[in-house]
Amino acid sequence: MNERNPHAPNGDWSPDEFREAGLAAIEWVARYLERLPELPVVPPVAPGDIAAQIPASPPEDPEPFDRLLRDLDEIVVPGVTHWNHPGFLAYFGITGSGPGILGELVASAFNTNGMLWKSSPSTTEVELAMMGWLRDMLDLPSDWFGMLTDTASMSTFLALAAARESVEGMDVRREGLAAPGYPRLRVYASDQAHSSAEKACIGLGLGQVGFVKIPVDAEFRMRADVLAEQVAQDRAAGWRPLAVVATIGTTSTTSIDPVPEIADICERESLWLHVDGAYAGAAAVLPEMRDAFRGLERADSYVMNPHKWLFVPIDASAFFTRHGDVLRRAFQLVPDYLHTTDDAVNLMDYGLQLGRRFRAIKLWWVLRTFGVNGIRERIRSHCRLAQLLAGWIEEDDRFEVAAPVPFSTVCFRGRWPECDESELDRRNELLAERVTRSGIAFLAHTRLEGRITIRAAIGNLRTDTSRIESVWRALRSTHDEITRVGATSAQGESR
């Protein structure tokens, strides 16, 4: 293949060349997945290390494919943080599973743009069918409209745009927010909600003053009583309360807001209820977890991310709303060249973006390859591993669990009773950093009640009991090391 140049008369690979390169690429991916457990989860590189190895300009003449594969090994892999690694416990552990990876390949081969039904009927129809499957699996109301977006951030943006469109007596789409006499709008979420909710308010012109953080209780759940008071106060002060973003599975601790009570307030106050289940949403596939999702059926909109805990490669976010008509009213704007006469669903009418990837193929392939029972088994096993780790932490007085563990994420801290708060923060940061540098696992941290807290977020299909055991061993020995030398000298030592 290397000597065959140019390739097909059109400059692309011929089918045979594609086959040859494709087999080599698949072999490369299979080998990568195979050796993943031996690679350090986080690469030991500094900013600029990778860019320095990429030529400043593209090649004038074609390069053979084997050289491209070689550069994956030599340039790219050394700088990859391996999200598909069994020790990836940072942020939210996720998996790009085999069928999902191949689904991406097929989607690229089709290279469709699903803006209209007509621009590729299968692209729209497989997507809508997959939304039906998700509704069924996750026990969501069967009449909700659903579609895929790239991220939960975009899904939440669309939800709040629809909320804004739904306000009676305001026509923001036409008049803008600054129209004379329009009240200022406010959205509420707990102080543990993901920053995407506030960002959506920035993007929608509500401003950061249009976003109010409601405090949480001792288990990091939104205080519904404070929400009710804040809404009443704001109304009295001339604000128009617009929406509440409740979270099932918050980013730091995976806490669960009291959705039924929040839904009562929303109903009483005519507020749009958006529920963010970006991470935890997949757990609704387990009948024993359904209680965590109580009240969700009363939401106006909902997001869960198949690319977080449903083994679908990034990106794929599932956005649902009971008011598909309102969402369409907010966004439908059809230029002449896209006018159609059929009465099919055109997904470009339901959001900001015109062009749409064929994301549903990878979701379809993952759901069929695992089966719902296979997915249940994996999610259950991740929750079990989290309970195992939390149990060990609880029993060891060098550590403490920092928040309840309703799903597969454990928040904890190293304890050093002799230290003040700032030394404790330093030591916990160092603990996570050192275990991460050992290559066994990537542990990130958050702040809870002002204190550095380590998170172990289990969501990778390759993470098993032996990996969690190794992480626990590394945590204990690193705790002992830090105790011996103290954080300040340990920091110096590790430089």
Contact at 8 Å (CB) between 140 and 134? yes
Closest CA to 188 of 238, 262, 243: 243
* Half-sphere exposure of residue 244: CA atoms within 13 angstroms, side-chain side: 32
Of the candidate spans 223-231, 247-255, 349-357, 482-490, the one that interacts with ligand PLP by CB under 6 A turns out to be 247-255
Range 397-426, binding ligand PLP (CB under 6 A)? none
- Location of structure tokens 């904890």: 412
Tokens coding 423: 């030394």
Nearest distance, CB of residue 283 and ligand PLP, angstroms: 13
Nearest distance, CB of residue 245 and ligand PLP, angstroms: 9
Choosing from 84, 124, 196, 230, the residue that interacts with ligand PLP (CB under 6 A) is: 196
Of the candidate spans 10-18, 243-251, 327-335, 414-422, the one that interacts with ligand PLP by CB under 6 A turns out to be 243-251
Choosing from 84, 112, 123, 251, the residue that interacts with ligand PLP (CB under 6 A) is: 251
Of the candidate spans 80-88, 245-253, 255-263, 332-340, the one that interacts with ligand PLP by CB under 6 A turns out to be 245-253
Choosing from 278, 405, 411, 461, the residue that interacts with ligand PLP (CB under 6 A) is: 278
| Alpha helices, H only, 143-223 | 152-166, 172-175, 195-203
Nearest distance, CB of residue 152 and ligand PLP, angstroms: 4
Which residues have a Cβ under 8 Å from the Cβ of 377 and sit 6 or more positions away?
none
Contact at 8 Å (CB) between 149 and 161? no
Site string for ligand PLP, 73-112 (x = CB under 6 A): -------------------x--------------------
Nearest distance, CB of residue 189 and ligand PLP, angstroms: 10
Interface with ligand PLP: number of residues (CB under 6 A): 15
Is 196 or 408 the residue whose CB approaches ligand PLP more closely?
196
Range 151-180, binding ligand PLP (CB under 6 A)? 151-153
Of the candidate spans 158-166, 214-222, 276-284, 319-327, the one that interacts with ligand PLP by CB under 6 A turns out to be 276-284
Closest CA to 456 of 312, 254, 308: 254
Is 405 or 490 the residue whose CB approaches ligand PLP more closely?
405
- Tell me the torsion sign for CA atoms 29, 31, 34, 37: negative
Tokens coding 64: 């053979």
Of the candidate spans 148-156, 262-270, 352-360, 470-478, the one that interacts with ligand PLP by CB under 6 A turns out to be 148-156
Choosing from 276, 300, 425, 433, the residue that interacts with ligand PLP (CB under 6 A) is: 276
Q: Decide: residue 399, CB within 10 A, 0-12 exposed, 13-18 middle, 19+ buried.
A: buried
Q: Is 194 in the site for ligand PLP (CB under 6 A)?
A: yes
Closest CA to 334 of 353, 348, 355, 324: 348
Q: Is 190 in the site for ligand PLP (CB under 6 A)?
A: no
Please give the Cα distance from 100 to 119 (Å, whole number).
Answer: 24
- Tell me the torsion sign for CA atoms 62, 63, 64, 69: negative
Backbone angles phi and psi of 399, in degrees to 5: -135, 165
485 secondary structure, DSSP code: H
Of the candidate spans 228-236, 248-256, 442-450, 478-486, the one that interacts with ligand PLP by CB under 6 A turns out to be 248-256
Contact at 8 Å (CB) between 50 and 79? yes
Query: Where does this chain bind ligand PLP (CB under 6 A)?
Result: 92, 151-153, 194, 196, 247, 249-251, 276, 278-279, 305, 317
